[in-house]
Structure 1
Amino acid sequence: MKDQEVYRKNREPTTVFCLVGPTAVGKTALALELAHKYNAEIISVDSMQVYRYLDIGTAKASPEERRQVPHHLIDIVDPDEDYSLARFLADAAAALAAIRERGRAALFTGGTGLYLRGLLEGIFKFDQYDPELRLNLKNRLEREGPAALHAELATIDPPSACRIHPHDRQRLLRALEIFYASGLSWSEHLRRNRQQALLAAEVPVIGLASERDILYERINRRVETMLAQGLIDEVAGLLARGYGPELAPMQAIGYRHMVDYLSGRYPLEEAKELMARDTRRYAKRQFTWFRRMENIHWYDPGETEQIKLLLEQKI
């Protein structure tokens, strides 16, 4: 009951807004500018910045920037600790409640789409497992093909059919399984679940997106900057502390590449090129994830005044 009360209070009207987008697009600088303008504290929406000692490779705000604007959900767990969506949402709820008590605005910013979706839609848990139903649907998929099953989904759950590509077999089977196991469509489950989400649906979400060539060039420069700032030493220090390369944070982009370099698997130049390539691919996946979400207002990073105008109308 206590947790439900915290979530209920956090959904009451207040100045809350979000700024999201792919890595290296320019979120940090704009977030600081908006935080100053709206007297906001920043809540990180980043699955890697929660880890201590991973600073350069996760592009955390600098200590000076964090002195200017309070940041939350940064450096809260050690690299060998598990951190889940459920834990993030609980930590975000606590941070938002504390910000509200101080009478300040809250700006959620980051690039982890799963966390943003959790904030806006809550956690959808469906554990009605029916092995016979699942096997039957898989057999039908092989026998009838994805187009037929997608057409069937369109008749029972049009919203899900719109957001699931006919060739996305896993999500197609998931949507049909949810409906036939529960009698409710996936979209209806999400609608009911959204009513329990931490952030209300009307909270404005700003998305930053730039031309691909511009973003990729920014990513290439960021890789060079991270190396100049001491990423290799940061990774070596993590290994010296006993945080092995098998840990999830050490498998993140940049960290696994420098582990490969330090272990002699790749020369530095090749490790750097692979890091830039994988960062570009990650940015593409981030953008694809965010594009699937509704009600994100997209802007070029340079359209600062237009973004402020929108926020003036929304908050």
Structure 2
Amino acid sequence: MGRPAAAAALLCQLGLSAAIQWLGLAESGAAWSEARQCRLVPGQLPLCRRHLELMPSVVRAARLAQAACQLAFADMRWNCSSVRRAPSLGPDLLRGTRESAFVYALAAAAVTHSIAQACSSGELPLCSCASVPSEVPGPDFRWGGCGDNLRYGLQLGAAFADSPVKSSKQGTQALRAVNLHNNAVGRQVLSDSLDTKCKCHGVSGSCSVKTCWKGLPNLDEIASDLKSKYLAAIRVTHRLIGPRKQLVPKEMDVRPVKETDLVYLTHSPDYCTPNLHLGSLGTQDRQCNKTSAGSDSCNLMCCGRGYNTYTEEVVERCHCKYHWCCYVVCKKCRRKVERYVCK
């Protein structure tokens, strides 16, 4: 594909980028007191105007999603640093890659997660705690507390994440289908993570009775689950099967796509060297682990180029003592550590 054709294809995909451009709100200082501020989320403009009260939750979701993505991929060549550039997104997140599959799923989960917890914390006027679970409580606990309102979070979270993809006239049908599929996977992983949380009651903390509710884990746990799905993601094509087009594996010997699989259209670069056309920032100057055999090892992270070693002095708390009652006093210790950085 020549440069003009490649540029046209990329511009065609930019319409779909609005679906995750809102991740750039992590740096937003908007007070969200007026509907005109909704211009910051052009892909979700109508929903923002109707539900302006949601936007602080969306900003929080953007911050948590960026942090969770970078934590999950800190030991990989692609370390999710490109989400920090939102709303300007690179080819790694525009071309239906394995990486964009992860970010779409995480973003969809994050906005649902944030709204569900905003309900239970009393931040939103149109929702409150989740309904009491239908399952019968055990003999040693009772339902109570304030559960995360996953139902409301899923309803508005899906509308927020999916509406730009569904309404876009740009991009291919295949890319729209892949992005919607990965959004749904993110919400499904979040839904499956809803768990029973309890608080003990009783004399002297005996926990003779527990009050329990349904709550969500922190977003880092969801990101970790999605990373496992990223590593097992399936490359697909959008093909007519019967009366409608479906996402099917590109390779014939791969099992059918499940609703819980992350899917992608385009192979990713190896991310070893900088290449703006592919969205690769390279791994030069990245820190590596000399003793690791995993993806953060100096051999893999540095792509065989070798690494430089330098010594750094760090200051740590040490010799800590507990004093009755009730504080801890520590000294400060200095020690030298070796760091390894890719050439």
Q: Same fold (TM over 0.5)?
A: no
Structure that is richer in helix per residue: 1
TM-score w.r.t. structure 1 length?
Answer: 0.23
Name which structure has the greater RCO, CA cutoff 8 Å, separation 6+. Answer: 1
State the TM-score, normalized to the length of structure 2: 0.22
More strand by share: 2
Select the structure of larger CA radius of gyration.
2
